[in-house]
Structure 1
Amino acid sequence: MEQGVHFITVATRDTDAARAFYVTGLGWQPLLDVPGEILFFQIAPGVTLGLFDAVKFAADMNSTDITGPAGLTLSHNVGSPDEVDRCLAKAAEAGAEIVKAGQQAAFGGYHGHFRDPNGLIWEVAHNPAWSVDPDGRVRLGLVES
């Protein structure tokens, strides 16, 4: 199997709350929006985030156990600590709960976390040791102290 992820699909208790948060609150444009079922957003080149109604997600999986992994976050890297704070403020204005205010991170950068209305946790980070080459290859190192 080739190493790669193209879709990240999350079981979502309330697709209307997700729409209000991501589309109305954050200004994201959906690739596909099927009310009461699923929203798809392109979140990176070739990568899509799906927010799928939890009941329909379980039916699609032929399972009632959709608890999934614990400790999951999606991370959004930005260009500066100020941009981290602006993103966290925008998320809070849109209805997110700030889990961790912007602050220096153990990895040497700056980050904070918010929880969307359905419980999905996002990290917003400035990591000067993270970069993407023109060919799409990610470079990840440690920030020198």
Structure 2
Amino acid sequence: MTPQRVTLITLGVTDLERSKRFYAALGWTPAEALDNVAFYQMNGLVLGLFGKADLAADQGRPDAALGTGAMTLAQNFPTEAEVDDAFEAALAAGAGALKPPEKVFWGGYSGYYTDPDGHVWEVAMNPFWPLAPDGSLTLTGAA
């Protein structure tokens, strides 16, 4: 059996320097950077930005085969005001707005934006999922 965990999320980017500038404008600092990849230490996992052509080569497929896929990365915040602040900071850094934060059907508050390569980020406040002081999330009843 394989463990139920994710340790590294890698995003393929067309212009690594542009992407590093975008995430720097959000206040993120790479923990490690090479010529074609930058790694950001997060609580419990790492986010990597990898030059798209180099990522495709590493996967053994053509660059054209890579897309952003049907997935969303999410950041949860304790308050609606912090969601609004995060959304505005992303727009100021050059994000594309998909949906401004608003109250949503499941009882929370969320919005969506894209990074410069079209990777979708959700910023949310979920009143049913309290966050630890470090911002990490553990579902009730999870091991």
Whole-angstrom CA distance in 1 between matches of 2:117 and 2:91: 14
Query: What's the TM-score, normalizing by structure 1?
Result: 0.86
Counting only pairs closer than 5 Å after superposition, residues 58-69 of structure 1 correspond to structure 2 as 58-64=56-62, 66-67=65-66
Amino acid at match of 2:95: A
Counting only pairs closer than 5 Å after superposition, residues 70-81 of structure 1 correspond to structure 2 as 70-81=69-80
CA contact (8 A) 1:11 1:66 kept: no
Runs (5+) with no aligned partner, structure 2: none
Query: What's the TM-score, normalizing by structure 2?
Result: 0.87
Structure 2 match to 1:34: 34
Identity of aligned residues (%): 35
Shift of 1:63: 1.0
Structure 1 match to 2:12: 11
CA contact (8 A) 1:131 1:140 kept: no
1:57 is paired with a residue whose SS is helix
Whole-angstrom CA distance in 1 between matches of 2:59 and 2:112: 29
Structure 2 match to 1:53: 51
Structure 1 residues 109 and 137: alpha-carbon distance in aligned structure 2, compared to 1, 3 A threshold: closer
Whole-angstrom CA distance in 2 between matches of 1:129 and 1:138: 11
Counting only pairs closer than 5 Å after superposition, residues 1-145 of structure 1 correspond to structure 2 as 1-23=2-24, 25-35=25-35, 37-45=36-44, 47-64=45-62, 66-67=65-66, 70-131=69-130, 138-139=138-139
CA contact (8 A) 2:75 2:121 kept: yes
Whole-angstrom CA distance in 2 between matches of 1:38 and 1:118: 15
Whole-angstrom CA distance in 2 between matches of 1:81 and 1:140: 21
Shift of 1:76: 0.1
Runs (5+) with no aligned partner, structure 1: none
Shift of 1:132: 5.2
Whole-angstrom CA distance in 2 between matches of 1:118 and 1:17: 10
Shift of 1:131: 3.1
1:138 is paired with a residue whose SS is coil
Count how many residue pairs are aligned between Structure 1 and Structure 2. Answer: 137
2:91 is paired with a residue whose SS is helix
CA contact (8 A) 1:76 1:123 kept: yes
CA contact (8 A) 2:108 2:126 kept: yes
1:47-86 Cα shifts (integer Å, max 9, x gaps): 0011100000011111116435732110000011111100
More strand by share: 1
